[in-house]
């Protein structure tokens, strides 16, 4: 059974640019959550999608957005990148019915 | 108050030791608890998933939930250098869709 796939694994962007990250969940999983992980803050919740609907959103500025497609694949977009956006971005998939979540390997974003 | 609190460590133990990793949570309604292991520059890997109170064992790992004190623990027996990683506890409220994570405990097992 394939795991959660995130692409790309690494990205280097310049301040002010925008970036799109992709996440393919485990087959049959309909919930995808996104997290930002930095050494000082740990895992910070960005948002959660279930069947193409955003059900929950963390405390991040509107520059961070996401969407989910009918095949449950999800993308997150960060516009007008700032240096502080440098982090490991993780997505997690679950069935969405109070079961455990499984993470991808993450996308490491560096903003220069 | 954060939903989940975790001692960040770092924790350093000799090979073969028993390791105890702990978290506390704030809401007595939480019923689903998870432990993840994260190696450097990798995504978290699910180790244990438990529901409500009690113990769950998987090989050298035992997860314990004490709902009366809102305390969750992960015990690692016969620790190995390959157990060196950051361990994250997490919880999911009933009918919830947002997981709450501790900040992680860094563990080093010295050969």
Smallest CA–CA separation between A35 and chain B, in Å? 10
**The pLDDT of residue B96:** 74
Q: Are A10 and A105 in contact (CB under 8 A)?
A: no
Chain B contact probe: residue of A103, A104, A108 with most B CBs at under 10 A: A103
Q: What is the pLDDT of residues A70-105, one digit of tens each?
A: 999 999 999 999 999 999 999 999 987 777 889 999
3-class DSSP state of A78: strand
CB < 8 Å to A102, chain B: 46
Residues B86-107 have a mean pLDDT of 89
Task: Please indicate whether, in this complex, the C-beta atoms of B97 and A105 are within 8 angstroms of each other.
Answer: no
What whole-number percentage of chain B has pLDDT above 90?
A: 73
Burial of B110 (0-12, 13-18, 19+ CB in 10 A): exposed
- What is the band of A1 on the pLDDT scale with cuts at 50, 70, 90? low
**The pLDDT of residue A100:** 84
């Amino acid at each position: 059974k394939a795991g959660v796939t995130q692409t790309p694994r690494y990205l280097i962007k310049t301040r002010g640019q925008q970036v799109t990250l992709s996440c393919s969940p485990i087959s049959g999983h309909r919930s995808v959550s996104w997290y930002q992980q930095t050494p000082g803050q740990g895992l910070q919740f960005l948002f959660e999608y279930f069947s193409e609907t955003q059900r929950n959103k963390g405390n991040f500025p509107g520059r961070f957005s996401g969407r989910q497609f009918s095949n449950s694949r999800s993308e997150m977009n960060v516009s007008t990148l700032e240096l502080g956006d440098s982090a490991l971005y993780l997505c997690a998939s679950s069935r969405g019915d109070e079961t455990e979540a499984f993470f991808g390997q993450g996308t490491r974003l560096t903003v220069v | 108050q954060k939903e989940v609190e975790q001692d960040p460590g770092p924790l350093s133990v000799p090979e073969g030791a028993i390791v105890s990793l702990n978290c506390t949570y704030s809401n007595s309604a939480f019923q689903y608890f998870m432990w993840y292991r994260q190696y450097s520059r990798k995504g978290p890997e699910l180790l244990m998933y438990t529901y409500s109170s009690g113990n769950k064992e998987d090989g050298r790992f035992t997860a314990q939930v004490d709902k009366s004190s809102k305390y969750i623990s992960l015990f690692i027996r016969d620790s190995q250098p390959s157990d060196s990683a950051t361990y994250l506890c997490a919880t999911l409220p009933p009918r919830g869709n947002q997981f709450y994570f501790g900040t992680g405990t860094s563990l080093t097992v010295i050969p």
